[in-house]
Amino acid sequence: MITIQNNRLKATLNELGAELISLINLENEDEIMWEGNPDFWGGQSPVLFPTVGALKDDKYIFEGQTYELPRHGFARRRVFEVKGFSENEVVFELNSDEESLKIYPFEFSLEIKYTLTENKLTVSYNVKNLSQKEMYFSLGAHPGFAIDTENGLNYNDYEIAFSDDEKLEIHPLVDNLISNETQTIKLSNKTLPLSYELFAKDALVMTNMKSRELILRNKKNHHKITFTFSNFPYFGIWAAKNADFVCLEPWQGIADLENHNQELTEKFGILKLEKNQDWKADWAVKIEQFL
C-alpha cells in the first residue's frame, strides 16, 4: 500500500491495479471511498484497460486472430511499478510483457498519477503506444464513492447535479452488452435523484453526456463532492444492488454493442494510437463539504 497526504486529505493506493482504496478527510476522518465490501462489490476504484466493459463472448478479433479478455480488461489484476513518489503525489506504471502480449498484441506503457492539492485529488492517465504498429485500446475510471446511510440519512437523500444536461440518454445493458435502443431520463433542474431502484438493470451508460462536472450531494445536510473529468467522451453511473455507494465513471470506450462483429478495429468507441503517440486524460474529485 502507498499513502500520500497533505493537510486536508490522505489517499491510500494499492500497487495491485494502481487502485485508489481510501480517501480520507483529515479534518473529521470521514472516508470518501466505498469500503469494498465483497458482499456487494469488492472493488473500490479499478482501472479499466485495455477495454471498458464486456466484449461479446469475452473475445475480440485482430488481424485475423481471436483473443480473449475479461470484462474491463486486465490492468486491474496486474501489479504496477511505483515510478515516482512524494508526500502528496505518486506515479504508477504498467508495461506490456510476455503475458500481456498473449491476450493483447500491443506493446504499451500505462502511467497513472495521483496528486493531492488542498481539498482535491487528481488522477491523470498517460497511455503510450510502444508498438511498431497502430494500437487500439480503451481506458476507463471506476471510482466508487461512499453514501452515508447512518445518523438518520438514507440513500434517497442523495442526488447528482449535472453541469450541462437537462436529460440523460441511456444505453441499456443486455447481458453486459450495449443495447441498440436508448432510453431517456428527464432531469429536474439538471439533477438526478439517487435510489436503489435506479440501478436495478445495471449501469446507466451514456455516450453523449454534455456535462464535464457532476456534484454528488446530500439534500439534507448539503455535504457534497465535485467530480470533474477531461478527454473522456463517455460516462457510466452504477451501484451494486442495495449497496451504499455510487460509481462515477468517465470512459474512453464502452462495452461491445449487441450486434458487434468482434473486430477490434471496428469496435464502437475504440481509440487508435499511432506508433510512439501518447493519449492523456484525467479526473478529479474535490471534497468541498464532506460526506
Res 291 pLDDT > 80: no
Q: What angle do CA 101, 127, 145 make, to 5 degrees?
A: 105
Q: Is residue 291 part of a domain?
A: no
Res 181 pLDDT > 60: yes
For residue 255, give the H/E element and its range: none
Res 150 pLDDT > 70: yes
Task: Report DSSP state, residue 51.
Answer: -
Res 156 pLDDT > 70: yes
Query: What integer is the mean pLDDT of 62-86?
Result: 96
pLDDT > 70: what percent of the chain? Answer: 99
Res 78 pLDDT > 70: yes
Q: Is residue 32 part of a domain?
A: yes
Res 151 pLDDT > 90: no
Residues 77 and 79: their CA atoms lie apart, in Å, by: 7
| pLDDT on residue 114 | 98
Taking the alpha carbons of 67, 70, 74, 79 in that order, is the dihedral positive or negative? negative
Q: Is residue 35 part of a domain?
A: yes
Q: Residue 39: helix, strand or coil by DSSP?
A: coil
Q: Is residue 171 part of a domain?
A: yes
Owning domain of residue 215: 2-286
Residues 94 and 167: their CA atoms lie apart, in Å, by: 38
* CATH code of the domain in which 180 resides: 2.70.98.10
Task: Report DSSP state, residue 260.
Answer: -
> What does the pLDDT look like over 199-258, one tens digit per residue?
998 999 999 999 999 999 998 877 899 999 999 999 999 999 999 999 999 999 999 999
Residues 199 and 195: their CA atoms lie apart, in Å, by: 8
Which parts of the chain fold into alpha helices (H)?
Answer: 98-103
| pLDDT on residue 208 | 95
Task: Report DSSP state, residue 199.
Answer: G
Q: Is residue 196 part of a domain?
A: yes
Q: Is residue 121 part of a domain?
A: yes
> What's the mean per-residue pLDDT of the chain?
95
> What does the pLDDT look like over 100-128, one tens digit per residue?
999 999 999 999 999 999 999 999 999 99
Q: Point out the least confidently predicted range of 26-30, 34-38, 90-94.
A: 26-30
Query: What integer is the mean pLDDT of 157-185?
Result: 94
Residues 67 and 60: their CA atoms lie apart, in Å, by: 5
Q: How confident is the model at residue 27 (pLDDT cuts 50, 70, 90)?
A: confident
Q: Is residue 151 part of a domain?
A: yes
| pLDDT on residue 289 | 62
Q: What angle do CA 54, 226, 146 make, to 5 degrees?
A: 60
Tally the domains of the chain.
Answer: 1
Res 285 pLDDT > 80: yes
Residues 55 and 59: their CA atoms lie apart, in Å, by: 6
Res 263 pLDDT > 80: yes
